[in-house]
A and B are shown apart, each in its own frame.
Chain A
Amino acid sequence: MGRELSTGVPDRTDFYVTVAAMVMIALWTTLAGLYGARARSTSDFLWASRTVGPRWNAAAVSGEYLSAASFLGIAGLVFKGGVDALWYPVGFTAGYLALLLFVAAPLRRSGAYTLPDFAELRLGSARLRKICTAFVIIIGWLYLVPQLQGAGLTVHAVTEAPQWVGAAVVMVIVTFNIYTGWTHSITLVQAFQYWIKLTALAIPVFVLLIHYAGEDPGFRNSLSASAPPSFSQATDVTPDHDVVLHVTKPMRVMVVGTPDGRPTKGTMPLAPGENRVAKGTTLHFDAGSRVPVISGAVVDNDTWLCPLSRGQRSLLATYSLIVALLLGTMGLPQVLGRYYTDPDGRAARRTTQLVLALLGLFYLLPMASGWLARLYLPRLLVDGNTDAALLLLPRAALGGWPALLLGGLIAAGAFAAFVSAATALVVCVAGGLSTDVLPSRLQDFRAATLVAWSVPLAFVLAVSPLDLAQGVGLAFAVAASSFCPLLVLGIWWRGLTDTGAAAGILAGGGLAFAAVLPAAVGVLPPGWQAVLAQPAAFTVPLAFLTMVVVSRRTRDRVPTDVSRILLRLHAPDRLGLSEDREVGQLGTRIWRAAAALSRIRGGRHRR
């Protein structure tokens, strides 16, 4: 069995299988784009016509929402942090519950297709609209960074190509999609994407679980032993960045290679506490030796299986994370438009209910694979590349052709997820850029698309990034601290004013952004990790408080037609509202851009 082969040049077959799988995904999205180009009218490109049922639409929403960064990241975090990492999938799912209870139906009735549209429609301020657009762009960029990072990691894990290759390939496909077909908007395509992702993950995980069930009980039960994981066979590990390793009992490791590449023979003592290992050092572990783990990972298996194993210090961080994920989902720029695909509020609610089921079902898979990785891939705990756990798992557990096929399937599924999530995000960011930011002579959706992805791409190349799921968490923290208060107060409180909303967004969202920036850049002092990397527990209340206080002090700015707007938000569907849907600039702009693009492609589309 090829379990725990040391890192080295991968088998060529592996390379071909994976590349073939990725090419298939690229072809699939291209074909979908061509299908999209034949859609019945231009508006079909934006929000596919409202004829699909809640089941399809729920699959489409889930397909768009499940970014590979989140599911690779969850597998990696469960692997490293154990049961604590359950909060990410629970939070991603519960965020939809908050969306359903507080904002889904009213937002749908408002007629706003984007968050800045909503702000302008509710409070009638162009200045507020600009601020909202800025935050759409910030959140979109923060969310794109882990997507690109994950794409780079996926391609690197299977082909050893440099990290930037995967990121660049995804961006090329995304740009092609946007220029030709706007695939993200076609409901059926997105719905298929969900089932592709689920299949691509479910088959490998089930095969691996069956394989695990057939292992001898001693090996199986070591997962809950009161000891660190151990190497099941001799393994060489070469971290590609400096790592800090933790052990509970002193141990010695054999060093067989130095950073400058000279072969060497020697041992290195690891004392309880922190042990620094320079990148490029090759460590040799004999079969059965204990696994030292990188900082942030749980050392012993039995504590790994218990929540909050890192002690009560992580209590605050956990609260903060729950707040960010629960309240951040409603503020994500790409989520809003999907609700227009449902014919009425009743169907929209049904869609959300199904989305919760589909997301819960899906997230079980990365959790299970994080669990298996603890047994089969302990070397990733040494080199810190835990986000690659899901991708490398089949090779580590099975070996041979099954591993190749299953590994290819996972990589292709992840790639599909990068493409769909990144497309939705780039469209939102480019929409904001072209409407409110770029100088008017550059108000071209195509140019904006390039700007929309080049900034996060440059960021990924420049800084050594966080774990994927943590990176995603930063975007949620900013969304929860800026748009959540705007939506909740805007929908539920008549007293909100444009000045209050702007002050709240700037205070909460701005502070959250300032706090996560050091984490995103990777210069976080360790002691501040809990507060800065996940600031939502402070910044969300701050945003709400600022909005309420400033609105109270600027009472004269409450819109005069607030009754009419609030009735529109809360009264039932079809209140004669189809006649006067006010859609702000951005919706109009995106629509025009779509129209322009479709004219370029041969003018097949009627208005």
Chain B
Amino acid sequence: MSTTEPVGGVGRRSVVGVGNRPVGGTDSRPLVDPWAAAHTSTEFAVLRNRLRGFVFPMTTFFLAWYFLYVLLAAFAPHFMAIRIVGNINVGLVFGLLQFVTTFAIATIYVRFANRHLDPVGSRIREQVEGGTW
């Protein structure tokens, strides 16, 4: 979806899939649905595996981290009540750290996607649009 695309296209209800059109008109090969081909390609499998390989472990990590806080609060209240400075105790710092980790995970994901997902995605795009499949 490019920036130059007319936004007024919202109103159109077009169901003509690109997949129904021949790609690379001069090609004499039998017509293959480039979508199905791209979907089963190794490139797409790489893209999918990389994404899953990142998203699922990361989700497990941050859920564990949130629940750790709750568990500590429930079963180690004395630890959470240790004063660090003035009125500020461990529990409060732990709570505020949740914000920091949330932002940190988002930052790591953005970097990961820019470095490892976008290049594969671009290759698939070039292949589909270039009519390789």
Most chain A CB neighbours (cut-off 10 Å) among B58, B83, B98? B98
Across the interface, which residues of B come within 8 angstroms of A607, CB to CB?
8
Partner of B10, one of A96, A97, A563, A588: A588
Across the interface, which residues of A come within 8 angstroms of B87, CB to CB?
220-221, 223-224, 305
Across the interface, which residues of A come within 8 angstroms of B122, CB to CB?
572
Q: Are A49 and B7 in contact (CB under 8 A)?
A: yes
Interface secondary structure of A, over-half rule: helix
Chain A nearest CB from B67 CB (Å) reads 7
Contact with A along B24-59 (1 / 0, CB 8 A): 000000000101101110001001100100010011
Chain A nearest CB from B11 CB (Å) reads 4
Contact with B along A49-65 (1 / 0, CB 8 A): 11100000000000000
> Given A352-B106, A579-B18, is A306 in contact with B89 using a C-beta cutoff of 8 Å?
yes
Across the interface, which residues of B come within 8 angstroms of A344, CB to CB?
1, 3
> Given A308-B70, A308-B73, is A97 in contact with B106 using a C-beta cutoff of 8 Å?
yes
> Given A318-B70, A346-B114, A580-B15, is A587 in contact with B10 using a C-beta cutoff of 8 Å?
yes
Total residues of chain B contacting the partner, CB 8 A: 71
Q: Are B16 and A306 in contact (CB under 8 A)?
A: no
Partner of B58, one of A42, A86, A101, A307: A101
A51, B4: Cα distance in complex, Å? 10
Q: Answer whether residue B132 sits at the interface, using C-beta atoms and an 8 A cutoff.
A: no
Q: How many A-B residue pairs have CB under 8 A?
A: 213
Q: Are A571 and B44 in contact (CB under 8 A)?
A: yes
Most chain A CB neighbours (cut-off 10 Å) among B3, B58, B72? B3
Q: Are B66 and A94 in contact (CB under 8 A)?
A: yes
Contact with B along A391-411 (1 / 0, CB 8 A): 000000000000000000000
Closest to B121 in A: A572
Across the interface, which residues of B come within 8 angstroms of A315, CB to CB?
70, 74
Q: Are A581 and B99 in contact (CB under 8 A)?
A: no
Closest to A607 in B: B8
Closest to A492 in B: B52
Most chain B CB neighbours (cut-off 10 Å) among A51, A89, A575? A575
Across the interface, which residues of B come within 8 angstroms of A89, CB to CB?
99
A356, B98: Cα distance in complex, Å? 12
Chain A nearest CB from B31 CB (Å) reads 15
Across the interface, which residues of B come within 8 angstroms of A595, CB to CB?
11
Chain B nearest CB from A81 CB (Å) reads 12
Closest to A354 in B: B106
Q: Answer whether residue B64 sits at the interface, using C-beta atoms and an 8 A cutoff.
A: no
Query: Could you tell me which residues of chain A, from 76 to 92, have a CB within 8 Å of some CB in chain B?
Result: 83, 86, 89-90
Across the interface, which residues of A come within 8 angstroms of B77, CB to CB?
306-309
A109, B104: Cα distance in complex, Å? 25
Q: Are A224 and B83 in contact (CB under 8 A)?
A: yes
Chain A nearest CB from B61 CB (Å) reads 11
Across the interface, which residues of B come within 8 angstroms of A563, CB to CB?
35-36, 39-40
Chain B nearest CB from A320 CB (Å) reads 11
Across the interface, which residues of B come within 8 angstroms of A581, CB to CB?
1, 9, 12, 14
Q: Are A577 and B1 in contact (CB under 8 A)?
A: yes
> Given A43-B10, A223-B87, is A564 in contact with B36 using a C-beta cutoff of 8 Å?
yes
Chain B nearest CB from A120 CB (Å) reads 11
Q: Are A93 and B10 in contact (CB under 8 A)?
A: no
A44, B7: Cα distance in complex, Å? 8
Q: Are A578 and B9 in contact (CB under 8 A)?
A: yes
Across the interface, which residues of B come within 8 angstroms of A83, CB to CB?
91-92, 95
Q: Are B3 and A51 in contact (CB under 8 A)?
A: yes
Q: Are A567 and B70 in contact (CB under 8 A)?
A: no
Chain B nearest CB from A384 CB (Å) reads 25
A567, B91: Cα distance in complex, Å? 45
Contact with B along A21-61 (1 / 0, CB 8 A): 00000000000000000000111101101110000000000
A93, B104: Cα distance in complex, Å? 12
Contact with B along A281-307 (1 / 0, CB 8 A): 000000000000000000000100111
A312, B74: Cα distance in complex, Å? 6
Most chain B CB neighbours (cut-off 10 Å) among A83, A302, A352? A83
> Given A344-B1, A575-B125, is A567 in contact with B44 using a C-beta cutoff of 8 Å?
yes
A221, B83: Cα distance in complex, Å? 12
> Given A49-B7, A571-B38, A587-B10, is A90 in contact with B55 using a C-beta cutoff of 8 Å?
no
Contact with A along B105-122 (1 / 0, CB 8 A): 111011001100010111
Q: Are B98 and A86 in contact (CB under 8 A)?
A: yes
Q: Which 4 A-B pairs have the closest CB atoms?
A: A572-B121, A307-B73, A86-B95, A308-B73
| 15 CB-based A-B contacts, threshold 8 Å | A42-B8, A43-B8, A47-B7, A93-B102, A94-B102, A220-B86, A307-B95, A308-B73, A353-B110, A561-B17, A567-B35, A567-B38, A571-B47, A578-B2, A580-B18
